[in-house]
Structure 1
Amino acid sequence: MSNEGSYVEQDEFNRDTNYIEDRITADGGDGWKVEPDRYRLVVARACPWANRAIIVRRLLGLEDVLSMGICGPTHDKRSWTFDLDPDGLDPVLKIPRIQDAYLARFPDYPRGITVPAVVEVSSGKVVTNDYPQMTLDFSTEWTQYHRDGAPNLYPDALRSEIDEVAELVFKDVNNGVYRCGFAGSQEAYDKAYDQLFSRLDWLEERLSRQRFLVGDTITEADVRLFTTLARFDAVYHGHFKANRNKLIEMPALWGYARDLFQTPGFGDTTDFVQIKQHYYIVHKDINPTQIVPKGPDLSNWLTPHRREQLGGRPFGDGTPPPPPKPDEVVDPAHSA
């Protein structure tokens, strides 16, 4: 096994979805009450699951109550590290790797050390890494600290449809690209490939008729799909062999992806350089040379999408978020 770990399965890739299920809630039912400055969100811009949390935190305006630590784009088989920070230490938690926060709470933690994770600052202990629930709780439990004009990403009337669409997208697209890339047999790869593109065709048809996935505003469902689409041509098409066609060859999906990318909170949290570095350097069993490709050209992400012709109001009755905090700005050389 390489120092980065092995990713390709013997047959079909099965993601471990057993996360730390503690929730941070308004009433503190799990022992973790929503409080400003009590917690730190630890992310890596390269990771699509963490990218979701970055986007939702930004859209809702939680930056001033929930600080954010950013790991570098690569990791070894132990965990993500804070190699972007001075001296390789997170400036708040004072640790070199997120694994330290997991072990502070669970000395024999047996599972993968993942991001995003929320850490209690005072104790240095991880609270949760349950990323699907995490972003929903940002929307529903942290409402006291939402910015003025924060969008409703999980409206009551649409929750069942959001959940249904999000589950299909997770199974066939978000996780489907990994099932292609980490397949250990031709049969497993073929099955994952067919499911992925069947679902992308379904999404292409759906998004040819409506601007957003559910309803006429941006919801949690859009955040979850976007982070995979942003990585599709840069990584998944080649590295994961998801190559029936590129995103730019699917008109509705490509227009939809650009619409979101050009919306504050989406494109300005996306770091293409770190994304490519992560996949092509860490997955040595897929890319033994660790050569990071120079392409694709990113300037097309800023071309007109004309999705406004389908109607819809991106933030509903809300407003776009302000620019990112100065220390959270993506390097302009890493974006479109």
Structure 2
Amino acid sequence: MGGTAGDDAGEAGEAGNAAYGRKKFRRSRSHFTDRVTADGRDGWPVEPGRYRLVVSRACPWASRALVSRRLLGLESALSVAVADPIQDDRSWRFTLDPDGRDPVLGIRHLSEAYDARESGHPGGVSVPALVDIPTGRLVTNDYRRLTLDLATEWTALHRPGAPDLYPEPLRDEIDEVMEGVHEDLNNGVYRAGFATDQGEYEAAYADVFRRLDLLSSRLADRRHLVGDTLTEADIRLFTTLVRFDAVYHGHFKCNRNKLTEDPVLWAYARDLFQTPGFGDTVDFDHIKRHYYQVHTGINPSRIVPAGPDLSGWLTPHHREELGGRPFGDGTPPGPPPR
């Protein structure tokens, strides 16, 4: 996972990244960076029902889009296709759907939408990907920009009571926090997991736990990362934390301590997991099967661990005692659609 999709792209998977286990891990940049905007300035206007969001529930980068979509109430405006967590040599496939085809796009592999956009495109086939339904063409795989645009460009289609996930007065602080989290943690666990020499691994390992310690200190007396409400920064941290003990601690050798052994971060992660829109997008089965069965350079046996025990995610966290208003003046989303 986390393959050719880069400094700025999502998950390509081991099948699409020949670098796994053979040379220094480097996350390549998104090749398709068009934006879907309210004014359509890139040629892609916001329109309900026009686009299909393709995700893997295993992928932390794609999971950000799933959380944003739920919190903002975009389910009816932006349909979602869920790829099989186990890829083949053409990468993400729709084998979870009847006849192995996405029922809306009519394709078997996400690569077909990439090829419809640009034949022989560089880089891998990554998620999240936004596809134009009428033409079947990929619009963007720029996962960092995608969720920000869902928060700021799709506002006319947000549900009543949707939170402001990227409030303008706090954007500089949010950006600063997210950049540190991305470099040291979101991407740092991959640099540790796919390191090919001891020094490279230890440098990434140090970055991961230095950042976790800073975040633990920051969150000791505040409920959310920036301000007193949920923001994009919390989403980006959550999707890494929720995978930490299940995957990164063992599979990626980030094993100084488990998330459950840091009282602050464990309570913070449980608080988010129990917030509508976060935990209801998580699929631990998809997460574990993807990492342990696709990354054969790290886990050649493809055996999926039976643990860890997941029951603790629903235990009381007491973070509400710190104050804060997760949804600000808004409201939580309702139950997830079927």
Give TM-score, length-normalised by structure 2: 0.94
- What residue is the counterpart of 1:59 in the other structure? 71
Is the 1:101–1:119 contact (alpha carbons within 8 Å) kept by the matching residues of 2? yes
- What residue is the counterpart of 2:303 in the other structure? 291
Matched, 1:183 2:195: yes
Q: Secondary structure at the match of 1:126?
A: strand
Q: Secondary structure at the match of 2:82?
A: strand
Q: Please, which of 238, 241, 249 is the counterpart of residue 250 of structure 2?
A: 238
Is the 1:93–1:124 contact (alpha carbons within 8 Å) kept by the matching residues of 2? yes
> Which residue type is aligned with residue 40 of structure 2?
G
Matched, 1:45 2:53: no
- What residue is the counterpart of 2:20 in the other structure? 8
Structure 1 residues 1-336: aligned runs within 5 Å: 6-326=18-338
- What residue is the counterpart of 1:329 in the other structure? none
Ranges in structure 1 where 5+ consecutive residues have no aligned partner: 327-336
Is the 2:192–2:252 contact (alpha carbons within 8 Å) kept by the matching residues of 1? yes
Q: Secondary structure at the match of 1:32?
A: coil
Q: Secondary structure at the match of 1:118?
A: strand
With over 3 angstroms needed to count, the CA separation of the structure-2 counterparts of 1:133 and 1:5, relative to structure 1, is closer
Q: CA deviation at 1:7?
A: 4.9
Q: CA deviation at 1:66?
A: 0.7
Is the 1:153–1:218 contact (alpha carbons within 8 Å) kept by the matching residues of 2? yes
Show CA shifts across 1:147-202 (max 9, x none).
00000000011000000000000000000000000001111000000011001000
Q: CA deviation at 1:11?
A: 4.9
Is the 1:180–1:192 contact (alpha carbons within 8 Å) kept by the matching residues of 2? yes
Q: CA deviation at 1:78?
A: 2.3
Show CA shifts across 1:15-50 (max 9, x none).
112331100000000000001111110001000000
Q: CA deviation at 1:301?
A: 0.4
With over 3 angstroms needed to count, the CA separation of the structure-2 counterparts of 1:260 and 1:239, relative to structure 1, is same
- What residue is the counterpart of 1:334 in the other structure? none
Show CA shifts across 1:67-121 (max 9, x none).
1111011112422001100111000000001000000010111111000000000
> Which residue type is aligned with residue 122 of structure 1?
P
Give TM-score, length-normalised by structure 1: 0.95
What is the RMSD of the two structures over their aligned residues, measured on CA atoms? Answer: 1.2
State how far apart, in whole Å, the 2-side matches of 1:72 and 1:100 are.
Answer: 15
State how far apart, in whole Å, the 2-side matches of 1:242 and 1:88 are.
Answer: 36
- What residue is the counterpart of 1:330 in the other structure? none
State how far apart, in whole Å, the 2-side matches of 1:212 and 1:4 are.
Answer: 36
Q: Percent identity?
A: 63
* Bigger mean CA deviation after superposition, 88-97 or 11-20: 11-20
Q: CA deviation at 1:8?
A: 2.9
State how far apart, in whole Å, the 2-side matches of 1:165 and 1:5 are.
Answer: 29
> Which residue type is aligned with residue 176 of structure 2?
E
Q: CA deviation at 1:12?
A: 3.2
State how far apart, in whole Å, the 1-side matches of 2:334 and 2:130 are.
Answer: 23
State how far apart, in whole Å, the 2-side matches of 1:11 and 1:212 are.
Answer: 37
Is the 1:158–1:215 contact (alpha carbons within 8 Å) kept by the matching residues of 2? yes
Show CA shifts across 1:135-158 (max 9, x none).
000010000000000000000110
With over 3 angstroms needed to count, the CA separation of the structure-2 counterparts of 1:5 and 1:167, relative to structure 1, is closer
State how far apart, in whole Å, the 2-side matches of 1:207 and 1:295 are.
Answer: 27
Q: CA deviation at 1:3?
A: 5.8
Ranges in structure 2 where 5+ consecutive residues have no aligned partner: 1-13
